[in-house]
A and B are shown apart, each in its own frame.
Chain A
Amino acid sequence: MNLDPKRRRLREEMEHHIVELKDQLEREGLDPHEARDEALRRFGDPERFAGEGDPEPGRLGAFVDRLRADVRFALRRMVRDPFMSTLTLATLVIGVAATAIVFSVVHAVVLRPLPFEEPGRVVHVSQTSPQGRSYSISEPNFVDFRARQRSFTEMAAMGWDTPVLSGVGVAESVEGRRVSHTFFPILGIEPLEGRVFSAEEDRFGGATDVALLAEGAWRRRFGADPSVVGRTIVLDGTPRRVVGVVPSDRAWPGVEVWTPLAPNPDVYRDDQRLEAIARLAPGVTLEEARSDMVAIAARLSDEYPESNDGWGASVESARDWLVGERLTRLGGLLTGAVGLFLLMACASVSNLMLVRASVRTREMSVRSALGAGRPRLLGQLAVEGALLALLAGGASLLVVGFGIDVIQRVGPDDIARLGDAALDAPVLGVALGAAVLTVLLAGAAPAALLARGKLFDVLRNASTARYDAGRRLRDGLVVVQFALAVTVVCGAGLLARSFVELQEVELGFQTGGVVRFAVRLPQERFNQGMREEYLRGLRDEIRALPGVTAVGATTAPPFGQSRPSNFVARSDREPDRQQDFLPVSWRAVSGAYFEATGIPLLSGRVFGADDQAAAERRVANPPVIIDRALADALWPDGEDPVGRLLTWFLPGGRQCEVVGVVGVARDERIDVEPRPRIYRPFTYTTWDQPTVLVRVQGDPEALVPALRSVVLDADPTIPAIEPTALTRDMRDTVAWPRFSMQVLTLFGVVALILAAMGIYGVTAFSVAQRRREIGVRVALGAEPAEVRRLVLRRGMRLAAAGIALGVAASLLLTGFLESLLYGVSATDPATFASVPLLLGAVAALAAWVPAHRALSLDPREALRSE
């Protein structure tokens, strides 16, 4: 360090002073090492005083010098007090990283505009049942809606499809969608290569043998070869010419091929499988579009009463449809929790800054006596804050990158655009902004006190019992922290309990030991007889595999996407209007389905081979099996439903005979009471893609390779689609609740840590202030327990106030959690009793450490420290 002679002299004088002070302390009985430390502590840092004097104002060089000195000083101070520095930094990093991670996910999934042109004008149209629930649209209804509407520039529909792609590597089922030719133009998605579908290609009976590739599939399967346009691919055995490549992956990740919808105006109007979208015409509001659609639905209800009676229509923004209420809600929850975190981090950092300031009381007073004015000290505080923000921001970026990675790996698969979350510019901005904001807020308290000239008063007089501004502030911060921690931990506790409840739900069937897979039997290639032959052959082959005990078939696998519904009534009390029929879910299953799934037969019988044949021939009163819930709903007097008739509303009000009653199976959604269920016999005519369920003794996963090869042996063009153990499907159905719980639990732990740091800081601070008083008490022979109680009391009182406040706030806020909970009330007494206890324990622990330290103080030293 280059010093002018004047400064050098001052420094040498001060060094001499410290040496003399140390000698004196040694004579008073400290060992040399302690004496040196104590002398330094009392005196502060001679290096720094040397740099203090009155700076020559106005010179940039001087400013830079001073800045350098300030930075060096701030760094040195951090190094000298590693514990406090680490605590402060860790608090900041936790708060900032949590904010940035959550923001990156919420931004990618919820906030970022949909990847469409003018996404706010794109809407989703659905049909509403007489009971008011939203349903998809049938092909004829879509055709009519599109022809009659006056609110949209255009309408389009989308249907699900998982065709088998062959001719490119091994035959494999791929995710696909059937869409109107208007679909991509409505969204403003331009093809990367070639063109999108033409109107002619979208006409029923038209030149529909074309396909579009999604960009991802094009790159993955065709090496981004532009000459793919014009090539022919084979979907479900049908050759289709590729006409273009579309960048659709961001909106529909996983979808590889697009084929024309070509809606058939003459299929059942109640076969609702299409999702309809539209672009609002200029000047038309969502409300106007809604009433337009409702009016059309009302006319269709009059024109086609047998299918459309009582059915309405609804229009919502495409964002609500694609992003979904659940995600928006979760996003809000996470953002809220993270906001609380930043507040907690602010409180902690603020407290820690005050504590550090208190440790430096003497040094600060020396510096102000030396003529370092308030602006100078504020500058020092600012430099220290900036340094803290920079370090914390930098460190949190590492955590953020890692955190995003983890979330993408463990998050549920069905969150569209989760993969978009990245450490990009907005996230960087938020991380840095959060760090700066936190430090600013945290520094505001000390700075305000300093600006009012009260910092030294606060710090000096702190040992008196006077209730000063600084203390009130610090206490308030700790109370707020505990309140926030209680809120977050209560939320986490409720979700965790809810998750446990979900795990223990009685499913009514046995998922263990079952593998499911689907096979694709496209109508173009398989007529009824061929399907029957194929499936029978396949069933016999699978049955011959070692360990297999049952092979069943169904139209919709347990926990699958498809949840078909219908309406039934007792034939002897058949109502006139559809509203009065009972909504049910239904499946078409083979007789062995019940054995394969383990759903118990309660009375009557399961389907036999004759039933299937009868259903195939459309005989009068075909057999059905109902579950216990439906039996109780239709025959509440306990009559045996077996042999009775019920009317199956669609298609066309057919009467069926109940041949058996089985147990209730919760196989659609685990967290919702199942709808009553009706089973029809599985028929070979109607189902393109049946699901096969195989019950096996031993590990079902181990059977998968054998299953795959058996299926390929039966027909090399038909692969087994997604052979999966049912237990895995079940895990996936609770992926969402699990994810919410994991996230909030993590948050709870973080909140606990932050709160613990806060109470630790404040107790340590009060101990530092009361060293003298404690020393006197110990010297006068106070019992250790008494002293400990003295120190603990204040911290615990603050914690108690915070906990009480937090419980009150949680009781108000948990209403927001209600929809995420299963089997647990939002005011669950067990949670609300145990969380305060937990936080109380944490508070006691965090306050005990400094209290313990206070007891180990050497009375002599404590007395001298003033």
Chain B
Amino acid sequence: MDERVELVPGTLDMLVMKAVSAEALHGFGIARWIERVTGDRLTVEEGALYPALHRLEKRAWLSSEWRRTPRGRRARYYRLTPEGSHELDTLRTRWEGSAWAVRQVLEAEGEA
């Protein structure tokens, strides 16, 4: 329960884009998906989520449309655009690069 992790600054856009890369989701669905795949360790704040969605859409990395949910509610669904897919790849490459670098440093043996 206490193993909750904080969202690393600057990664929200990437996580959101990843969440909608496979299928279109609404905001709540995006938040739930992230929680589910991280075993409830990572929570996305709603207050940050929606501004992020709108920002990404403005840059044309996401597109959105109103749809009905399976339970018949009206909700805004987001999906990744081809440009967004490209951006996600870029972000992911950059992230993995820096994550690798960080790990190298932390695991380095010997003299400091």
| Contact of A16 with B45 in the complex, beta carbons under 8 Å | no
Known: A16-B76, A19-B73. A49 touches B47 (CB 8 A): yes
Whole-angstrom distance between the Cβ of A310 and the nearest chain B Cβ? 88
> Is A118 close to B, CB under 8 A?
no
| Contact of B46 with A366 in the complex, beta carbons under 8 Å | yes
Residues from chain A with Cβ under 8 Å of B32 in the complex: 24
Per-residue interface assignment for chain B, residues 60 to 96, with 1 indicating a CB less than 8 Å from any chain A CB and 0 otherwise: 0000000000010111100000000000000000000
| Contact of A369 with B48 in the complex, beta carbons under 8 Å | yes
Residues from chain A with Cβ under 8 Å of B74 in the complex: 12, 16
> Is A808 close to B, CB under 8 A?
no
> Is A374 close to B, CB under 8 A?
no
> Is B51 close to A, CB under 8 A?
yes
| Contact of B75 with A43 in the complex, beta carbons under 8 Å | no
| Contact of B50 with A16 in the complex, beta carbons under 8 Å | no
Known: A16-B27, A16-B28. A9 touches B76 (CB 8 A): yes
Per-residue interface assignment for chain A, residues 288 to 324, with 1 indicating a CB less than 8 Å from any chain B CB and 0 otherwise: 0000000000000000000000000000000000000
Chain B residue nearest to A19 (CB atoms) is B73
Across the interface, B75 reaches (CB within 8 A) one of A10, A16, A366, A367, namely A16
Whole-angstrom distance between the Cβ of A27 and the nearest chain B Cβ? 12
Whole-angstrom distance between the Cβ of B10 and the nearest chain A Cβ? 14
Residues from chain B with Cβ under 8 Å of A369 in the complex: 45, 47-48, 51
| Contact of A365 with B45 in the complex, beta carbons under 8 Å | yes
Give complex CA distance A21, B50 in Å. 15
Residues from chain B with Cβ under 8 Å of A10 in the complex: 50, 54
Most A CB within 10 A of own CB, among B32, B47, B50, B51: B47
> Is A805 close to B, CB under 8 A?
no
Per-residue interface assignment for chain B, residues 18 to 61, with 1 indicating a CB less than 8 Å from any chain A CB and 0 otherwise: 00000000111101100000000000011110110010000000
Across the interface, A365 reaches (CB within 8 A) one of B26, B47, B50, namely B47
Give complex CA distance A9, B74 in Å. 11
Chain B residue nearest to A776 (CB atoms) is B1
Residues from chain B with Cβ under 8 Å of A370 in the complex: 47, 51
Number of A-B contacts (CB under 8 A): 53
| Contact of B26 with A16 in the complex, beta carbons under 8 Å | yes
Residues from chain B with Cβ under 8 Å of A21 in the complex: 28
| Contact of B50 with A13 in the complex, beta carbons under 8 Å | yes
Give complex CA distance A23, B32 in Å. 13
Q: Restricting to A232-282, which residues have a CB under 8 Å from any CB of B?
A: none
Residues from chain A with Cβ under 8 Å of B31 in the complex: 17
Across the interface, B76 reaches (CB within 8 A) one of A13, A24, A43, A44, namely A13
Interface size of A in residues (CB-CB distance below 8 Å): 22
| Contact of B47 with A17 in the complex, beta carbons under 8 Å | no
Chain B residue nearest to A10 (CB atoms) is B50
| Contact of B45 with A366 in the complex, beta carbons under 8 Å | yes
Chain A residue nearest to B4 (CB atoms) is A866
Give complex CA distance A371, B47 in Å. 10
| Contact of B76 with A14 in the complex, beta carbons under 8 Å | no
Residues from chain A with Cβ under 8 Å of B76 in the complex: 9, 12-13, 16
Chain B residue nearest to A23 (CB atoms) is B71
> Is A20 close to B, CB under 8 A?
yes
| Contact of B54 with A366 in the complex, beta carbons under 8 Å | no
Residues from chain B with Cβ under 8 Å of A23 in the complex: 71
Give complex CA distance A367, B48 in Å. 9
Interface size of B in residues (CB-CB distance below 8 Å): 18
Residues from chain B with Cβ under 8 Å of A9 in the complex: 76
Residues from chain A with Cβ under 8 Å of B27 in the complex: 13-14, 16-17
Chain B residue nearest to A43 (CB atoms) is B46
Residues from chain B with Cβ under 8 Å of A13 in the complex: 26-27, 50, 75-76
Residues from chain B with Cβ under 8 Å of A6 in the complex: 54
| Contact of B51 with A14 in the complex, beta carbons under 8 Å | no
Across the interface, B46 reaches (CB within 8 A) one of A17, A19, A371, namely A17
Give complex CA distance A21, B45 in Å. 13
Give complex CA distance A19, B46 in Å. 13
Give complex CA distance A17, B31 in Å. 10
Whole-angstrom distance between the Cβ of A114 and the nearest chain B Cβ? 64
Give complex CA distance A12, B27 in Å. 11
Per-residue interface assignment for chain A, residues 1 to 35, with 1 indicating a CB less than 8 Å from any chain B CB and 0 otherwise: 00000100110111011011101100000000000
Residues from chain A with Cβ under 8 Å of B45 in the complex: 365-366, 369
Give complex CA distance A366, B29 in Å. 19
Known: A9-B76, A43-B46. A17 touches B51 (CB 8 A): no
Residues from chain B with Cβ under 8 Å of A367 in the complex: 47
Residues from chain B with Cβ under 8 Å of A19 in the complex: 73
Q: Restricting to A343-393, which residues have a CB under 8 Å from any CB of B?
A: 365-367, 369-371
Give complex CA distance A168, B107 in Å. 111
Whole-angstrom distance between the Cβ of B94 and the nearest chain A Cβ? 23
Q: Restricting to A79-101, which residues have a CB under 8 Å from any CB of B?
A: none
Most B CB within 10 A of own CB, among A12, A13, A49, A365: A13
Chain A residue nearest to B76 (CB atoms) is A13
| Contact of A366 with B26 in the complex, beta carbons under 8 Å | no
Give complex CA distance A44, B46 in Å. 10
Residues from chain B with Cβ under 8 Å of A43 in the complex: 46
| Contact of B28 with A20 in the complex, beta carbons under 8 Å | yes
Q: Restricting to A173-199, which residues have a CB under 8 Å from any CB of B?
A: none
| Contact of B50 with A14 in the complex, beta carbons under 8 Å | yes
Residues from chain A with Cβ under 8 Å of B26 in the complex: 13, 16-17, 20
Give complex CA distance A21, B28 in Å. 8
Give complex CA distance A6, B76 in Å. 12
Residues from chain B with Cβ under 8 Å of A12 in the complex: 74, 76
Give complex CA distance A21, B44 in Å. 13
Chain A residue nearest to B47 (CB atoms) is A366
| Contact of B54 with A17 in the complex, beta carbons under 8 Å | no
Whole-angstrom distance between the Cβ of B29 and the nearest chain A Cβ? 8
| Contact of A14 with B46 in the complex, beta carbons under 8 Å | yes
Give complex CA distance A484, B61 in Å. 62
Q: Restricting to A29-70, which residues have a CB under 8 Å from any CB of B?
A: 43-44, 49
Whole-angstrom distance between the Cβ of B61 and the nearest chain A Cβ? 18
Whole-angstrom distance between the Cβ of B53 and the nearest chain A Cβ? 8
Whole-angstrom distance between the Cβ of A332 and the nearest chain B Cβ? 53
| Contact of B51 with A371 in the complex, beta carbons under 8 Å | yes
Residues from chain A with Cβ under 8 Å of B29 in the complex: 20
Whole-angstrom distance between the Cβ of A426 and the nearest chain B Cβ? 48
Residues from chain A with Cβ under 8 Å of B46 in the complex: 14, 17, 43, 366
Whole-angstrom distance between the Cβ of B45 and the nearest chain A Cβ? 6
Whole-angstrom distance between the Cβ of A862 and the nearest chain B Cβ? 13
Whole-angstrom distance between the Cβ of A4 and the nearest chain B Cβ? 13
| Contact of B28 with A17 in the complex, beta carbons under 8 Å | yes
Residues from chain A with Cβ under 8 Å of B75 in the complex: 13, 16
Give complex CA distance A149, B47 in Å. 85
Give complex CA distance A19, B74 in Å. 11
Chain A residue nearest to B28 (CB atoms) is A20
Whole-angstrom distance between the Cβ of A90 and the nearest chain B Cβ? 33
Give complex CA distance A55, B105 in Å. 44
Whole-angstrom distance between the Cβ of B12 and the nearest chain A Cβ? 10
- A sample of 9 more A-B contacts (CB under 8 A), given A9-B76, A14-B27, A44-B47, is A6-B54, A16-B27, A16-B73, A16-B74, A17-B26, A20-B26, A20-B28, A366-B48, A369-B48
Residue numbers of A with Cβ under 8 A of B are 6, 9-10, 12-14, 16-17, 19-21, 23-24, 43-44, 49, 365-367, 369-371
6 tightest CB-CB pairs across the interface, nearest first? A366-B47, A20-B28, A369-B47, A369-B48, A17-B28, A16-B75
Could you pull out 22 A-B pairs where Cβ atoms are within 8 angstroms? A9-B76, A10-B50, A10-B54, A13-B26, A13-B76, A14-B27, A16-B28, A16-B75, A17-B26, A17-B27, A17-B28, A17-B31, A17-B46, A20-B26, A20-B28, A24-B32, A43-B46, A365-B45, A366-B45, A366-B46, A367-B47, A370-B47
